Amino acid sequence: MLRKGVFVEDYMKLSIREYDVPEPQADEVMIKTKACGLCCWDSWLFRGVNAPGPYPYVIGHEGVGIVEKVGDMVTDLKPGDKVACLSGNNEMMCEYATVKRQGLTKLPDDTEDWASVVWEPTCCVTNLLNITDIHMGDEVVLVGGGYMGQLTLQGLTRASQAGRITVFETRPERIAMCKEYLRSPVDRVLDPNSEEGKAAIQDIIDRGGADVVIEFSACDAGFHLADSMTKQAGKLTIGSFHRSDVTFNGTKWHLGGLYVYNLAPMSNPHFKEMVERTHAMIDRGVFEPGKFVTHTAYYEDLEAMETMFQRACDKGDVYIKGVILFDK
């Protein structure tokens, strides 16, 4: 079935092209896309990095919409149901998309604000917190307070056993947003380049490091900062998708007995079990992903889309999260 999709045409250039949407197999569902989140990965694909092949290529993996067709083995969803895809494919920034049933979760029938139910990144955060296994009273440091960092902070402050939480972030508007989630006077949000931030970093290091450090900086400096603050036999969780080589001190990691965790869904063979867990946490009010959507664009408005993709790259205009809309 040929339908329109968003393609990366060339370096930092988008186009709308026809895409052949496959019919659903037995365990698959075709959805009519209402919105698709703009992932950090998409912003790199916009620049030709980690591309699936030569230009042009369709993108998008954070789709939400309405069930159009179901495969023979799908009995718990029907055409007309509203769904969010929390684990699908990379071809969802299209008018229609076909994905595995197991990666979908059913949305309320009265869902209208489609940008607010882009939940796939939240599923990744649920996976991160699950694999990190934070223990009662653990001191936790979060490096990076962007979109994924803020979702992680919601989970840490509302549904974890963490003790003291320290967040390091450089952008003033994100520092202000992170401060909304602090639970007690011992929690703090600091600019690592400020005198107060530098003193806090040195204090953490001098005390032997934090029990858990979660890195969402997506830069080499942030990775090394996170590494430096992890205690002996502590846990370093790499949330960022680093696009180039990142070095580490193998002696420190070996003699320090460091545990290193990876956010990537591929790190968990049971990742799709996180789908309904994530939905449950959103229902409880632990996560509020819609709160961080700062930019939207209609899929046939190429100029608006390209501008939003550029903001996803440079983080200008107080950008946190963008969503492509398939209805005006």
Tokens representing 302 are: 């190429």
Per-residue confidence band for 302, with pLDDT thresholds at 50, 70 and 90: very high
Per the model's pLDDT, the better-predicted residue between 71 and 183 turns out to be: 71
d(CA 191, CA 291): 23
Whether 183 shows a pLDDT value over 90: the answer reads no
| In the predicted structure, residue 197 carries a pLDDT above the cut 90 | yes
Mean pLDDT to the nearest integer, 308-328: 96
* Domain residue extents for the chain: 2-118+293-325, 122-267
Rounded (5°) CA angle 258-161-240: 50
| Residue that the structure tokens 């929390």 belong to | 86
Report the pLDDT value the prediction gives residue 60, as an integer from 0 to 100: 97
Q: Which of 145, 124, 313, 148 is nearest to 222 (CA)?
A: 145
Percentage of the chain beyond pLDDT 90 is 98
Length of the chain (residues): 328
Distance between CA atoms of residues 140 and 236, nearest Å:
10
User: If pLDDT is split at 50, 70 and 90, which confidence band does 56 have?
Assistant: very high
pLDDT of 1 reads: 86
Tens of pLDDT, residues 111-147: 999 999 999 999 999 999 999 999 999 999 999 999 9
Specify the CATH number for 2-118+293-325; select among 3.30.300.30, 3.90.180.10, 1.20.1250.20, 3.40.50.2300. Answer: 3.90.180.10
Q: What is the pLDDT of residue 16?
A: 97
pLDDT for residue 53? 93
Range 234-250 average pLDDT = 94
pTM above 0.75, yes or no: yes
| Residue 237 amino acid letter | T
Angle at alpha carbon of residue 118, lines to 84 and 13, rounded to 5°:
115
Q: For the segment 36-51, what is each residue's pLDDT rounded down to a tens digit?
A: 999 999 999 999 999 9
Q: Phi/psi zone of residue 58: left (φ > 0), alpha (ψ -120 to 50 degrees), beta? A: beta
Q: Which amino acid, residue 146?
A: G
State the average pLDDT over residues 221-239. Answer: 97
CA distance 164 to 86: 30
Contact, 192 vs 168, CB < 8 A?
A: yes
What does CATH list as the number for 122-267? Answer: 3.40.50.720
Local confidence band at 288 (pLDDT 50, 70, 90 cut-offs): very high
pLDDT bucket at 328, cuts 50 / 70 / 90: confident
Over residues 22-30, mean pLDDT: 97
